[in-house]
Amino acid sequence: MYSASLIAPAWSPNGRTIVFTIYQSTNRRILMAVAPDGSGLREFYKTHDDLGRPQWLPDGSAIIVPVREGDLGDRGQLWKVDFPSAQAQRISNDQRDYSTMWFELNREATALAAVETTITGDLWLLPDGDSEQARHLTTEGTLVVYVSTFGKDRILYETREGHIFSGDVDGGNLHQVKMGNAGLRDVAACGDGKHIVYSETSGEAPQLWRVDADGTNAKQLTNEKSATMPNCSPDGHWIIYWNEEEHGFYRVSIDGGSPSKIALTKPSDPYVRFSPDGKWVTYTAESMEHPQSPYTVVIAPANGGQATTTFPMVPGMGMAPPQFAPDGHGLYFNLMRQGASNIWKMDKPNGALKQVTNFPSGLIASYAWSEDGKTLYVARGTRSSDVVVLEAAK
């Protein structure tokens, strides 16, 4: 009945109802309720924000569930959803980021233990990729989750809170680009510097939109069951995006129109990267070709077709594919090694790796090279976690 991932079932105190969270391919998150014998399955509460593991109050009157709210920069907060009315309200109101899975009520529901995470970060500029010469472009401590060049003379970046900024390639003239609504996600800069594309959830499913470079003239590009993770071609003429329902990549013109599926074999994740000339893409795929890894890095034609190169995923790279070098020769990887993220280069597919940056600590959320390959932009951050105990008001 549902094409979805299921997590975290929870029995009601009287044993008559089980609630659980599902993630649908349309990016809806739903609390479902069902009797133990499987009867009475129904949607109980739904949202486009990420829902975590539900827990019942002892009297069965409500459910406590962590919600990772998009308009709060995807910070997890605690909500109470009344049962069976589904009336929902946020019961925490702080700057913490509560885990969607790791929390527990005591028996009387007078106290709650949860894991909370603090993530801070800034955007850095590295001449020739040299960490020793790195300098801050931002200093507010707000994590940057995406950075890209934007045409020949600008950069574009997005903060965790969904705020978009543009500036000169040297980091000067940084200013916010006002665009989109609360459901804005997955920003991508077009290589010609004329448009910004993004996904936005304002109805039943996320769709692709575009705006001009200054954030004006918003236009919806898709009307699908699910359209996320856009990546704009270097010439700015078309977009590759992820269709979660089909578990595959599609392409659509920058002016909209009918999307078409791209024949890229067995993609494992919704990320794709263009070569500088726009003819090739990298992505990660499921494969049994290499026994040492169930996933491979793939280089294939951008319009679909047989892969030209595959090799095992590099340890520490996560699921995001490597980026092509600005001159098209070689690949760059964001690798976690010895507790720190750094950028590494591979001159030939499946060849030796050479470390480029030398940060001793921290995470790299995003990175981009300037078109001439002389400047590396790196969004770095730090993460810390603690167990906190929240007590009910007396």
Q: Domain locations in the chain?
A: 4-109, 119-383
Residues with Cβ within 8 Å of 322's Cβ and at least 6 positions away in sequence, in order, are 273, 282, 297, 314, 331, 332, 333, 346
Query: Is cis: bond before 84, omega within 30 of 0?
Result: yes
Q: Per-residue confidence at 248, pLDDT binned at 50, 70, 90?
A: very high
Kindly state the average pLDDT of the residues 118-137.
Answer: 94
Kindly state the average pLDDT of the residues 235-247.
Answer: 93
Kindly state the average pLDDT of the residues 152-181.
Answer: 93
Nearest Cα residue to 127 out of 380, 374, 379, 378:
374
Q: What is the percent of the chain where pLDDT is above 70?
A: 95
Nearest Cα residue to 378 out of 365, 387, 390, 388:
365
Lowest mean pLDDT among 20-24, 174-178, 319-323, 326-330: 20-24
Kindly state the average pLDDT of the residues 367-385.
Answer: 94
Q: Per-residue confidence at 71, pLDDT binned at 50, 70, 90?
A: low
- Give domain 4-109's CATH superfamily: TolB, C-terminal domain (2.120.10.30)
- Residue position matching structure tokens 């921290």: 362
> What pLDDT does residue 263 have?
94
Q: Is the pLDDT reported for residue 308 higher than 80?
A: yes
CB 219 within 8 A of CB 210: yes
Residue 282 or residue 47, greater confidence: 282
3-class DSSP state of 72: helix
Mean pLDDT score of the chain = 90
* Phi, psi of 70, deg, nearest 5: -60, -40
119-383 CATH fold: Neuraminidase (2.120.10)
Nearest Cα residue to 226 out of 33, 25, 22:
25
Which tokens hold the place of 97? 């980021």
CB burial string 202-220: b at 16+ within 10 A, e below: eeebbbbbbbebeeeeeee
Q: Is the pLDDT reported for residue 125 higher than 80?
A: yes
pLDDT tens-digit series, residues 139-148: 888 889 999 9
